[in-house]
Structure 1
């Protein structure tokens, strides 16, 4: 009986650890980095951001980066993952006003790593990710398929 209680407490501790509860919740299935682009509606800045994502798809995939565009005017997202209430929570969590374009890079540990306002630069983002200790370990383990 003591062993069963110990196993239960261990499993419960793992399930509710701070790393497990870090955003995004679906990161438990596949740990990844997240880039959230908060937009004030679809305009040339969003189109430019999407073009950068298309051109640099290999670098994005190689770095386990998932991207998400949030339209703060319509309270919608590019993947259909979040309700309007959840989008407002994300805006509050990352202190983003709905009249600006802001990109927020979130690491595999769920913490904010970098932020860009009015002028996202994918080359700078790749450099920031590549300097992270976890990314350095990934490069040592599996190499890098592509570079900018």
Structure 2
């Protein structure tokens, strides 16, 4: 049953990715507060090396992202490239860039906790080990793991 649920989640993630990568999504951070952690990836280009590395990391560790209630959003020029997250529309990207003081010309990864605050910022790709270590050390995640018997 757990495998079936994971497979269904992965299917939904990829189905949503393909449809939203074309049009973009208005992102309201408040809509995810207390429900999801967010990984926001801002890149000046989808060809940026760190953007490609993050895409690979997300693809290889989808189960870990799902287990940690982590949703991925990216702001980069639109493309047909398969991205394992949801493309943020321009207006939302600008609002978030202003809120978190991001540069349009720099690569940045932000981890936003379920409480809506910034937990981690990097100007390069973040390994899944580092990302999961930061998340797993959060008090809310500790309670989740205890509740789930992990």
Q: TM-score, normalised on structure 2?
A: 0.70
Native 8 Å contact 1:35 1:65 kept in 2 = yes
**Residue 142 (str. 1) matches residue 113 (str. 2):** no
Residues 51 and 109 from structure 1, CA distance in 2 versus in 1: closer, same or farther, beyond 3 angstroms? same
- Residue 40, structure 1, aligned to residue 17, structure 2: no
Tell me by how many angstroms 1:85 deviates. 2.0
Equivalent pair of 2:37/2:71 in contact (CA under 8 Å): yes
CA distance in 2, matches of 1:55, 1:112: 24
The residue number in structure 1 matching 2:35 is: 31
Matching of residues 47-126 of structure 1 within 5 Å: 47-71=52-76, 79-80=86-87, 82-126=88-132
Structure with the higher helix share, 1 or 2: 2
Kept after mapping to 2: 8 A contact 1:100/1:118 = no
Deviation at 1:41, TM superposition (A): 1.1
Q: Distance in 1 between matches of 2:89 and 2:46?
A: 18
TM-score (norm 1): 0.71
For structure 1, the residue ranges without an aligned partner over 5 or more in a row are 1-22
- Structure 2 residue runs of 5 or longer lacking an equivalent are 1-27
Q: Larger RCO: Structure 1 or Structure 2 (Cα < 8 Å, ≥ 6 residues apart)?
A: 2
Aligned residues: 117
